[in-house]
Structure 1
Amino acid sequence: MTRPTPGPLTSRRRFVGLSAAAFSTIALASCGSSSPEDAADPSTLNVGAMDSFEADQQFTATEPITLSILWTDWPENPVKDTWQVFEHIKELTNVELELTHVPFSDNVEKRSLLLSAGDAPSVIPLIYRGDETQFVSSGAILPMSDYIEHMPNFRKYVEEWALSEMLDNIRQADGKYYMLPGLQEVWVPSFSLIIRKDVWEEIGIGVPTTWDEVHEGLAAIKEKYPDSLPLADGFEGQSLINYGGYAFNTRAGWGFGDGMMGGHDGPMTYAATSDEYKAMIEYYRSLVEEGLLDPESLTAANDGSGAAGIDAKFAQETCFAASGSSGTVFEFAQAMDETLGEGNYELQLIPPPAGPGGNIMGPKNFWHGFMLNSEIASSENFLAILQFMDWLYFNPDAREMTRWGIEGETYATAEDGTIILNEGYSLDSFELNTGAGTDILKDLGFSTYLAEATESRSLKQSYNSEDFTAYIDGVLESLESMPPWAPAPLEEGELEQASLMATPIKDAVDTATLQFIMGERDMSEWEAFGQELEAAGLPAYVDLINTARDRFVEKKG
């Protein structure tokens, strides 16, 4: 088989964190547009700024600037004094980054404490949509939408990659957005179904394209391997029903968010009370009843040491399909090499199968980006810092540099555009020139989480395997994205109210969903489940969100 490599530097821990943040947000979009009359005027705070700064242009400050940044330390990749990335950024831009370190284990808490105390650095990266909401009312962070006129790269790629409509979903109640997200030219689900392709071909199914074919294939595998439980999740059931839920035209698991569906042509409804959600539950329940879905894997959490033991089950040939990402494929392959031997199996991450809802996947999403401490608006370097951040996060040459290093030194570009690490350099986490000498991540600081925020399709493919490129092609050829979730902006007082209401309702949904799927609760209790949600306050919650949605439509229209 082609040796798989990990996908973008997206650990499952970070993916789960993103989902939790997205849920707590509830609804961030807002009516109206930015009102810049109260904004600082960067043109008068222009020390170090370029007189003319355009998209795709190299930014270089006209005077030296020191800019503080909050840096999350990954335990497996601690910052070293030998990291070249920061020195090279300084050489290119005349901007020196001054790092304030926070550990990954409690970066969210440390970030909140620093901002609340007024001690936060100027730049706060690794911000997912919703992370910024709690800091808006205090004025601790800058309304970025007031200043994007000074950020030509951001504007260009939002337009070229058709992401403008999605900006409504990061607006706050005042109509402004307070973070700039990472932009992705192509959006494909990070997690889908990994199959033991050689076995699926052996039983006559090949790569399944629908959930009916998945069912048929699992049954055939079970017949051939009677001791197996051929399908597994390994992420507390949240991953399987996330990408699978969309195929039933509902949202579930990691993708449940605020639980609201619709809203584009009429009132929104709560997903977990719909016929589509029930149909999804009944499908997975049937797999458990037939011994095709491992119920243990629906409650097992990943601790970072392998997908909750699913890698071992693949190696023991008791599992032949499971949730995961391109990085999970790599983990499975490592375990299987030790037992089956390299070349004696074939793994493939396949596009999410289609279902009753059609060939659909979840809406496109932004990736993590950054927010700025509001104190930056009084800096004499304000305009230069806006230009620098626009270059660092959205300029194609800067994106290639943060990923690969220095062209001609750490890497070379072939005539066909392929990027190749030079002799003596490796990127071990992606199995590129493994063990060749200097690791551009661990030793030089390139290809950190900073590199993944904004990516063109070609850059994303440059460090991934051919298998992952095939996965992108397969997703884009076979699936269509749902439209963005309907914005339902909540005002400040409503946000806390909605959060208090949503939490017990969502807890009840999570508990009952697994109980129904695992057979611990009979489907005859479905109506009783709906009554439990009503007793938990669901009608009032739905009314609150729909009121916000109606207000958005009225003001925007």
Structure 2
Amino acid sequence: MMSPSLLARPSRRAFTGMSIAATGLLGLTACGEDAGPDPSLEASSQDRGAMDDFEADQQFTATEPLQLSILWTDWPEQPVLDSWQIFDRIKELSNVELQLTHVPFSDVVEKRSLLISAGDAPDLIPLIYRGDETPFVSSGAILPMSDVVEHMPNFRRYVEEWDLGEMVDGLRQADGKYYMLPGLQEVWVPSFSLIIRTDVWEQAGVPVPRAWDEVREGLRAIKAAHPESLPLADGFEGQSLINYGGYAFGTRAGWGFGNGMVGGIDAPFEYAATTPEYKAMVEYYRGLVEEGLLDPESLSAANDGSGAGGVAEKFAQGTCFAASGSSGTAIEFAQALDAAGGDASTIRLIPPPGGPGGSIMGPRNFWHGFMLSSRVAEREDFLAILQFLDWLYYGPAAREMTRWGVEGETYAKDGDGRITLTEGYSLNAFDLNVGAEIDIQTDLGFSTFLSEATESRSLKESYNSETFREYVEDVLATLEPMPPWAPAPLDEGELERSALMATSLKDAVDTNTLRFILGERDIQEWDAFVGELEAAGLADYLELYRGARERFVRSAS
């Protein structure tokens, strides 16, 4: 995690193609008529503080002290403390001081938008998922990053080595440029899936459900053995369950709904929420609620970013035995169960179950990255800032540092590259050295969102449990990713026209999807619901995207 907007982002605890030559990033097929680099973005001549001949895997250190402002999201359970070392460590290594502008998790999307629109945003705007940048493209408030990636050798290297070129091409807007740089993942597996308590499922006769039909049968057996339970929960306002579950029905929903378009390759776009596949998904989860198998409260309880909506307590109390979550959520559940005297080893993250759409997962995707304020291009140290961000976001040594801290102090590496925390240091969020005096995340500021963006497989596995490594292997062995969603970048006028329509349509989809699943609206009113979407401008919305898709196909041919 895409992209869900940050408004529906999972909690802090929950976080947890075509090869091209490096130069190909600068010359990929354009989506529009104006794909050439902006000649005004000539960073080479704005080189105060920059390194000569900066290369991939090289330590970036500015030749003179620099400052860079950053929009910093504060999670409720993880405030920035005076004891945090991460900013001092970044400054020590790079000679760049980060200056924080704080925004709370609860309203980060709104405040970010206001700051950007007013021209008051900090230089660096992180925690950006693909699509988050689109509303700001036409205003000129953010920098076209595709014009300057020639100065970012680490980014270019891993796009090539990890076969991400086609996906990067998919970031391009109607003008042929992309305006955010994403977090790159060597291996893509769903961050969120189903977490089960294996002992209870084994007793039900369904050790590891591989399909949603098996999930339902297992839940029925568990309900029979534990009549007071509501054995399945979400905890993320329903958005997680229908996201990873929706793909199995051949649709997109929840966090993965995006612009709502499905198809577009062999047939015109359709709006996902009006398709038979979407209705089948809704009917399945509605049936679970009707049978008392799915906890309604977990679909509607607000998630303030501090956890999985109270589901951990239900795991500990023995009233819930399966729920949505990530590897971090699984640890949260395990810790709660252990504190209640249960067996924490029975908590397991399993691959998303298959369904009518097959044994599939969502399309390979990026993780969060960043945008830059267009003001950065006016700085005399523009080139140095690009080099710094390339090191921080994509340099292997920086990625390890933001995750683990200071080698020889907070962690050690053996000859095989295996990382262990030094005695006295813990990473409680991942159940490492629990009980040690200093937590490298909460006390020192490492392993925050800065560490999440770009990860090799080995780095991702270094802080996760053996069960997570098994999860990765299981997903790669049993599931196929869906093809990428068909690109259809909108031009400036189309973006303005689509904005209000997209919001009203998505609000109606979210509200009514939940109402149908909870049984608050009769499923016999489905056609009426589709009619409501049509009255809200669905035909015009579809026409916009179908036209944009046709234009994209013509320009790429």
Structure 1: distance between partners of 2:478 and 2:7: 25
Is the partner of 2:156 in helix, strand or coil?
A: helix
Q: Which residue of 1 aligns with 2:421?
A: 421
Structure 2: distance between partners of 1:438 and 1:344: 23
Q: Which residue of 2 aligns with 1:7?
A: none
| Residue 222 to residue 489, structure 1, CA distance change in 2 (3 Å) | same
Q: Which residue of 2 aligns with 1:450?
A: 450
Q: Which residue of 2 aligns with 1:438?
A: 438
Deviation of 1:325 after TM superposition, in Å, equals 2.1
1:516 aligns to 2:508 (yes or no): no
Structure 1: distance between partners of 2:44 and 2:10: 39
The one-character-per-residue Cα deviations of 1:308-335 (angstroms, maximum 9, x if unpaired) are 3433333332322122222322333333
Q: Which residue of 1 aligns with 2:9?
A: 14
Structure 1: distance between partners of 2:126 and 2:510: 31
Deviation of 1:32 after TM superposition, in Å, equals 5.8
Is the partner of 2:450 in helix, strand or coil?
A: helix
Aligned 1:90-489 pairs, distance under 5 A: 90-304=91-305, 306-339=307-340, 341-343=341-343, 346-489=346-489
* 8 Å CA contact 1:314, 1:332 repeated in 2: yes
Structure 2: distance between partners of 1:166 and 1:319: 38
Structure 2: distance between partners of 1:194 and 1:12: 23
Structure 2: distance between partners of 1:46 and 1:424: 42
Deviation of 1:344 after TM superposition, in Å, equals 7.3
The one-character-per-residue Cα deviations of 1:266-297 (angstroms, maximum 9, x if unpaired) are 31111122121122222223323333223333
Q: What is the one-letter code of the residue matched to 1:130?
A: G
Q: What is the one-letter code of the residue matched to 2:288?
A: L
1:495 aligns to 2:495 (yes or no): yes
Deviation of 1:396 after TM superposition, in Å, equals 0.6
Is the partner of 2:170 in helix, strand or coil?
A: helix
Per mean C-alpha deviation after superposition, the further-off stretch among 401-410 and 232-241 is: 232-241
Q: Which residue of 1 aligns with 2:555?
A: 555
Structure 1 residues without counterparts, runs of 5 or longer: 1-9, 18-28
Structure 1: distance between partners of 2:237 and 2:106: 20
* 8 Å CA contact 2:193, 2:352 repeated in 1: yes
Deviation of 1:36 after TM superposition, in Å, equals 1.2
* 8 Å CA contact 1:13, 1:304 repeated in 2: no
Structure 1: distance between partners of 2:146 and 2:258: 24
* 8 Å CA contact 1:50, 1:384 repeated in 2: yes
1:537 aligns to 2:532 (yes or no): no
Count of residue correspondences: 536
* 8 Å CA contact 2:76, 2:105 repeated in 1: yes
Deviation of 1:390 after TM superposition, in Å, equals 0.6
Deviation of 1:212 after TM superposition, in Å, equals 1.3
Q: What is the one-letter code of the residue matched to 1:48?
A: G
| Residue 546 to residue 108, structure 1, CA distance change in 2 (3 Å) | same
Deviation of 1:116 after TM superposition, in Å, equals 3.6
Deviation of 1:111 after TM superposition, in Å, equals 3.3
Per mean C-alpha deviation after superposition, the further-off stretch among 320-329 and 346-355 is: 320-329
* 8 Å CA contact 2:105, 2:305 repeated in 1: no
Deviation of 1:207 after TM superposition, in Å, equals 0.4
Q: What is the one-letter code of the residue matched to 2:537?
A: G
Structure 2: distance between partners of 1:402 and 1:456: 13
Is the partner of 1:15 in helix, strand or coil?
A: coil
Structure 2: distance between partners of 1:187 and 1:144: 23
Structure 2: distance between partners of 1:536 and 1:119: 34
Q: Which residue of 2 aligns with 1:4?
A: none
Deviation of 1:256 after TM superposition, in Å, equals 1.5
Per mean C-alpha deviation after superposition, the further-off stretch among 198-207 and 117-126 is: 117-126
Q: Which residue of 1 aligns with 2:66?
A: 65
Structure 2 residues without counterparts, runs of 5 or longer: 13-29
Structure 2: distance between partners of 1:329 and 1:542: 39
Per mean C-alpha deviation after superposition, the further-off stretch among 130-139 and 546-555 is: 130-139
Q: Which residue of 1 aligns with 2:17?
A: none
The one-character-per-residue Cα deviations of 1:157-214 (angstroms, maximum 9, x if unpaired) are 1121122222233222211111111111122222211111111111221100111111
Q: Which residue of 2 aligns with 1:22?
A: none
Structure 1: distance between partners of 2:80 and 2:119: 25
| Residue 141 to residue 520, structure 1, CA distance change in 2 (3 Å) | closer
Q: Which residue of 2 aligns with 1:25?
A: none
Is the partner of 2:9 in helix, strand or coil?
A: helix
Q: Which residue of 2 aligns with 1:20?
A: none
* 8 Å CA contact 1:410, 1:421 repeated in 2: yes
Per mean C-alpha deviation after superposition, the further-off stretch among 228-237 and 346-355 is: 228-237
| Residue 395 to residue 204, structure 1, CA distance change in 2 (3 Å) | same
| Residue 186 to residue 68, structure 1, CA distance change in 2 (3 Å) | same
Deviation of 1:240 after TM superposition, in Å, equals 1.6
Q: What is the one-letter code of the residue matched to 1:401?
A: M
Structure 2: distance between partners of 1:33 and 1:213: 51
Deviation of 1:16 after TM superposition, in Å, equals 8.1
| Residue 221 to residue 73, structure 1, CA distance change in 2 (3 Å) | closer
Q: What is the one-letter code of the residue matched to 2:221?
A: A
Deviation of 1:395 after TM superposition, in Å, equals 0.6
* 8 Å CA contact 1:264, 1:486 repeated in 2: yes
* 8 Å CA contact 1:31, 1:553 repeated in 2: no
Q: What is the one-letter code of the residue matched to 1:84?
A: Q
Q: What is the one-letter code of the residue matched to 2:461?
A: Q
Deviation of 1:264 after TM superposition, in Å, equals 2.1
Is the partner of 2:50 in helix, strand or coil?
A: coil
| Residue 357 to residue 228, structure 1, CA distance change in 2 (3 Å) | same
Identity of aligned residues (%): 71
TM-score by length of 1: 0.90
The one-character-per-residue Cα deviations of 1:12-60 (angstroms, maximum 9, x if unpaired) are 963389xxxxxxxxxxx94467311433212211222222122112222
Structure 1: distance between partners of 2:413 and 2:6: 28
* 8 Å CA contact 2:403, 2:447 repeated in 1: yes
Structure 1: distance between partners of 2:253 and 2:479: 18
Deviation of 1:456 after TM superposition, in Å, equals 0.8
Structure 2: distance between partners of 1:104 and 1:295: 25
CA RMSD of aligned residues (A): 2.5
Structure 2: distance between partners of 1:403 and 1:281: 39
Structure 1: distance between partners of 2:11 and 2:491: 27
* 8 Å CA contact 1:268, 1:546 repeated in 2: yes
* 8 Å CA contact 1:16, 1:254 repeated in 2: no
Structure 2: distance between partners of 1:273 and 1:492: 27
Structure 1: distance between partners of 2:461 and 2:192: 17
| Residue 433 to residue 66, structure 1, CA distance change in 2 (3 Å) | same
